[in-house]
Structure 1
Amino acid sequence: MKTARQTTLREQVQLDGIGVHSGAAVSVTLNPAEAGTGIAFVRSDQDHVEIPAVFRNVSSADLSTVLGNPERGGMATVEHLMAALAGLGVDNCLVEVDGPEMPILDGSAAPFVEAIDQVGLVTLAATRKAIKVLKTVTLETDRGTVELHPHDRGLRMEVEIDFTNPLVGRQVFGIDLDPTVFRREVARARTFGFMQDVSKLWAANRALGASLDNTVVVGDDRILNPEGLRFADEFVRHKLLDAVGDLSLAGAPIIGRFRSYRGGHRMNVNLLQALFSDPTAYEVVESVVRRERGHADLGVAMPAYGPDAN
C-alpha cells in the first residue's frame, strides 16, 4: 500500500468561546505547522512556551485532560480539540490560546471540525509514523477497565458506559476511526453532567461556564436541554470522543483495538503510560493510506443499575 504523508492546516482559523470550568472568555487560533511538529499548545497571554500534546505532559485528568500547569503556561480541557484533530487526520498544528482553558463551544468536537474543514488540509512531504500495538495492554481499577489490543487496520474503538441513572443506563458504541465516521457519528456528541452534581462542582470552582448551551444536563427524570439529545446514545458517543482525544496524546496515530468499560480521562492516559513503559508492547511503523470505510457499529442503550461512572 501507499505510504501515508503527514498533514497540517492549509491556513489559520480562530474560534472564540468560554471555558467550561473557568467560565472565562477565551480565543483559540489553530495554525499550520511544519512536518514533525506534531500538535503543540502555546499561551499567547504568557511566555509563548510550546507544550507538546503528549501524555507525558498531562498534569491532571480528572474532569478534563490538562497539559502542564494552567497557571504557568499550561492548558486545560484539550480533549475535544485533540479528538477533532485526530479524527480528521491532522498531524501537525500549533494551537495558540489566550487563556488557561480551551473554549467548550457547544460541548462537542463539531465546531473544531467545522473550523478545520473551513480552511482544509495540505499534505506534507514527510511520511506519517504510527504506533502499532504488538500485545495486549490492560489497565483495571475498581472503576472499570481499559485495554489496547493488536489490530491489523487502523484504530478500532469500542466503548461501554454504565450509569445508575436510567436516562443514561448502559450504552455500547464502536467505530473504526476515520474522518468520515468521526464527522458523522462522533463529532457532534456533547459533554454531559448530572444536575445532582452541580452544587458540588460549583463549590469546587468547577463547571462555572457550563450551561444548557454546552452541556447535556441529566435530571432525575428527564433531559433538561429543550432540544433533547443529538443521538439516542449521545452519552457513550461522547465518551468515545473523549477517548479519541486522549489516545491522540500518544503523539502519533495508534494501530490497535481500544476497549473501555466505564473508563475516563485518567484511565486513558494511564493506559498510554503502560503501553509505552513496555518496549515489547509496541513498535513505530510507517502509516499507509487506507480507504475510508465510513462504518460505525450499532450501539445499545438500556437501563442499568451499577455504580455511576463519569
Structure 2
Amino acid sequence: MNDKQHTIKAPVTVSGIGLHTGVQATMTFCPAPVGHGYQFQRMDLPDKPIVVADVDNVVDLSRGTTIEQNGARVNTVEHTLAALVGLQIDNVLIKLDGPEPPIMDGSSYQFIQALEDAGLEEQNALRNFYEIPSEIRFVDNGRAVELAALPLNDYRLTVMVDYNSPVLGSQHASLTDISQFKHDISSSRTFCFLHELEALYKQNLIKGGDLSNAIVVVDRVVSEDELTELATMLGKPKVAVKKEGILNNVDLRYKNEPARHKLLDLVGDLALVGRPLKGQILAARPGHAANVAFAKKIKKKMMEANSSPVPHYDPTREPVMDINQIMQVLPHRYPFLLIDKVIHLDDTSVASIKNVTINEPFFVGHYPGNPVFPGVLQVEAMAQTGGILVLNTVPDPENYTPYFVGIENCRFRRMVKPGDTVVFKCWLLAPVKRGIAKMRGQAFVNGKVVMEAEMSAAIVRKDA
C-alpha cells in the first residue's frame, strides 16, 4: 500500500447516463490538496454546493448509496469511490453537472481508465490510515448479514454471497492486495434479478438501466409475452434468455462476477469512513444498507480514537521529510538542528520527531549527573517544527526564513531524558496573514504531553 497521499496530475472527464435517475451527466475528476479527501461538487446547482463523501451524509440506500449535504444530493456514489480507493488516490474534487455519476458499463473500470489517463501524483504527506484496533462486527440476523473488521497491517476483503439461485448459487470473492483491484475487481458489473428489475422499474428507479450497463439474472422460466414486456420496458426491440440464465444471454466477465461486484460496492461504501483503512474485512451477504451501517460503526471507533491529539508515529514508515530534506528548508545546523524527521505535513498542521540521546552536546554541561533535555531547547525544537509548517504556506520555501516573534502559555509537564522519542505537533490557530502565523504546539513522549505552548512566527524573504 502507498505510504504517501496521492491526487491526480490533471482534470479528467467522463460522461454518461445515471443508472437510477436516467439523467445525462458529465463528471470531472480534479486534483485536490493534501487532506482534502473525496468531495463532490454539484456544478448544476446555485452556488455549486460541495457534498463531502462521508458516511454521516448518507440519506438513501435504494439500490445504491446516496449522500446529501448543503441542500445538494449525489446518487449512487459507490462505483466512483471504489475506483479512487482501488487506485489509492486520496484527494480529489469530483465536479458533477447532474444528480448522479454516469453508470458507464456498470462497473468501476472506465473510471479507473480515466484516472490513470490523468496520471497519479504523489503528495508531500503521509496517508492517514485508520488501523482496525480490534474486532468490529455488524450483524443483521433478519437478513442473515454479517460483516467484520479484524486487525491487519494491510487492506484485504473477502465477500461471500448466497442467492439461493440455480443460476448463481453460492459465490465468494477476495482481494488480498488493494493493487489487485484494477485487474481483478473493477470491471465487475452491477446486477439484479429479474423480479428485482420489475420492482425497481415500478419504484421509478433504474431509469438509466440498460443491458449494456447491468446484468439481469433470470432465475425462472419466462414466457414470450413477458419477454416482449421486458423489451418495451428496456427500450429494446427484443430480449431473449435461454431458460434460466442471463437476460439477452450476456456473457459474464467472471464466473463469480456478482460476488466480485459486491466486493466492489463494499470498497466504495467503506470509503465513506473518510480515511484509508488497514484491516481484514469479512462480509457475508453484504448490501448497501449493511455496508453503510458497518462503516458507521468503524467511523465511531475511529472518532473515539481521534479524541487523543497524539500523532501516530510508526518508525518503519518513510517520513514526509528526512534530515536531508529538512536541511534544505531550515537554516539550522549542528548542534542546533533539533528535529530528525517530519512524519506529517499538510496545510494546517505538522508533526516531527526528535530522538533524544546521551550524545547531545548540551548534556555535557546540563545536569550531567542527571541528564534532562533542556526546556528551552524543547521550545526551540517545537519552533523548528512550526517553521516547517509556516514555510509550507509559500510556494518557494527555500527563499524564506522563519523568525519566531512571540511565545505564550508555555508549560513543561514532564522531564524528557536520553532514550526518549519526542513527537512534536504544531497546528495553525488562524490562516497566515501578512506573513505572520499563530500556532499552537504540543510535545509528547509515550503518548503523554511533556510540554506545550502558543507561538507566533514571521516568514521573511532572504533577500528582503
- The one-letter amino acid of 1:151's match is L
C-alpha RMSD of matched pairs (Å): 2.0
Equivalent position of 1:103 in the other structure: 102
> Is the partner of 1:187 in helix, strand or coil?
coil
Equivalent position of 1:273 in the other structure: 296
Q: 1:280 to 1:104 in 2, by over 3 A?
A: closer
Looking at structure 1, the residues matched to 98 and 105 of structure 2 have their Cα atoms a distance apart, in angstroms, of: 18
Q: How does 1:1-310 map to 2 (within 5 A)?
A: 4-46=3-45, 47-68=47-68, 72-141=71-140, 142-143=142-143, 144-152=145-153, 154-179=154-179, 181-220=180-219, 221-278=244-301, 285=312, 288=317
> Is the partner of 1:258 in helix, strand or coil?
strand
Equivalent position of 1:307 in the other structure: none
Runs of 4+ in 1 over 6 A off after TM superposition: none
- The one-letter amino acid of 1:41's match is F
Equivalent position of 2:223 in the other structure: none
Count of aligned residue pairs for this structure pair = 285
> Is the partner of 1:106 in helix, strand or coil?
coil
- The one-letter amino acid of 1:170's match is S
Looking at structure 2, the residues matched to 272 and 199 of structure 1 have their Cα atoms a distance apart, in angstroms, of: 30
C-alpha contact (below 8 Å) 1:217/1:223 kept by paired residues: yes
C-alpha contact (below 8 Å) 1:4/1:286 kept by paired residues: no
Select the structure of larger CA radius of gyration.
Answer: 2
TM-score, normalised relative to structure 2 = 0.59
> Is the partner of 2:159 in helix, strand or coil?
strand
Looking at structure 1, the residues matched to 94 and 24 of structure 2 have their Cα atoms a distance apart, in angstroms, of: 16
Q: 1:89 to 1:279 in 2, by over 3 A?
A: closer
Looking at structure 2, the residues matched to 189 and 145 of structure 1 have their Cα atoms a distance apart, in angstroms, of: 22
> Is the partner of 1:37 in helix, strand or coil?
coil
Looking at structure 2, the residues matched to 228 and 77 of structure 1 have their Cα atoms a distance apart, in angstroms, of: 25
C-alpha contact (below 8 Å) 1:275/1:281 kept by paired residues: no
Q: CA deviation at 1:125?
A: 0.8
C-alpha contact (below 8 Å) 1:21/1:210 kept by paired residues: yes
Instruction: State the percentage of identical aligned residues.
Output: 33
Q: 1:279 to 1:206 in 2, by over 3 A?
A: closer
Looking at structure 2, the residues matched to 204 and 60 of structure 1 have their Cα atoms a distance apart, in angstroms, of: 14
The answer to which structure, 1 or 2, has the higher relative contact order (CA under 8 A, 6+ apart) is 1
Q: CA deviation at 1:279?
A: 5.6
Equivalent position of 2:336 in the other structure: none
- The one-letter amino acid of 1:149's match is L
Q: CA deviation at 1:168?
A: 1.3
Structure 1 regions of 5+ residues with no counterpart?
290-310
